[in-house]
């Protein structure tokens, strides 16, 4: 989460949108493994002003 909010959002020119953050666990998730995978989904919207992120505001999109 630190990477998403501390690096990805500021560099992405995207805005966090209103809505829930979701965590998706599937068969790739293993709490005992450092190679474990889970998906974090955060609603985002385009920032047409070309500036950094602003406080939460919504349309759900998926981070890739």
The residue among 42, 49, 52, 6 whose CA lies nearest residue 21 is 42
The tokens describing 49, both together, are 């002003």
Predicted confidence at residue 12, as pLDDT, reads 85
Predicted confidence at residue 49, as pLDDT, reads 53
The predicted-structure confidence for 34-50, as pLDDT tens digits, reads as follows 999 999 999 988 765 54
Cα–Cα–Cα angle for 44, 56, 37, rounded to 5 degrees? 50
Q: What is the mean pLDDT of residues 5-22?
A: 87
The pTM of the full predicted model, rounded to 2 decimals, is: 0.56
């Amino acid at each position: 989460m630190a990477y998403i909010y501390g690096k990805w959002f500021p560099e992405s020119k995207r805005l966090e949108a209103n809505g829930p953050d979701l965590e998706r666990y599937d068969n790739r998730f293993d709490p005992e493994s450092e190679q474990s995978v889970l998906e974090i989904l955060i609603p985002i919207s385009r920032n047409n002003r070309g500036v950094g992120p602003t406080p939460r505001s919504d349309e759900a999109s998926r981070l890739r």
